[in-house]
């Protein structure tokens, strides 16, 4: 059987200096100085780290594993870091224009534009965007452990 690795985002830190811990390393003082390692999901097995190894979380989010720099470079690519609460401008601009067009195209029977309806729709839209951004941030946090 053949398999394809599922596309997913991971957090990783590169171990570049002896004695300087990265997320996932055993934090025991002796280990930091003389035997840097991580504990994997496999019966809490210890795996030694070499300088420049990348440290990634296991799928359980509790244990970690090292990846050699050349393998990491072939397997992963950097993604643009962004504020999870940042809202996509194009989609928002489009939705606001649609709401404004609806308001301008539908005056009431005396020719007044229903701004209260527009504002209520805008409030609903903004609140849904905030909730979506919070959910996305929480999902990312859960994936990152």
100 Cβ contact list (under 8 Å, min separation 6)? 118
Is residue 42 predicted with pLDDT exceeding 70?
A: yes
Is residue 10 predicted with pLDDT exceeding 70?
A: yes
User: What mean pLDDT, rounded, does the chain reach?
Assistant: 79
| pLDDT value, residue 110 | 63
- Please give the model's pTM, rounded to 2 decimal places: 0.52
The per-residue pLDDT for range 66-121, each reduced to its tens digit, is 999 999 998 888 887 766 555 556 667 677 777 777 777 766 666 666 667 777 77
CA distances from 99 to 114, 124, 132 (A): 11, 12, 20
Task: Report d(CA 72, CA 119) in Å as an integer.
Answer: 49
């Amino acid at each position: 059987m053949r398999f394809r690795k599922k596309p997913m985002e991971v957090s990783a830190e590169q171990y570049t200096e002896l004695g300087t811990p990265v997320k996932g390393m055993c934090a025991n003082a002796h280990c930091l100085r003389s035997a840097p390692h991580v504990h994997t999901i496999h019966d809490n097995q210890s795996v030694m780290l070499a300088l420049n190894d990348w440290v990634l979380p296991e799928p359980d989010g509790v244990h970690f594993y090292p990846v050699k720099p050349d393998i990491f470079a072939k397997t992963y690519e950097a993604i643009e870091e962004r504020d999870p609460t940042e809202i996509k401008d194009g989609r928002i601009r489009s939705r606001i224009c649609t709401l404004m067009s609806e308001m301008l195209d539908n005056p009431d029977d005396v020719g007044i534009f229903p701004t209260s309806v527009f504002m209520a729709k805008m409030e609903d839209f903004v609140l849904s965007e905030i909730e979506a951004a919070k959910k996305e941030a929480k999902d990312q946090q859960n994936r990152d452990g």
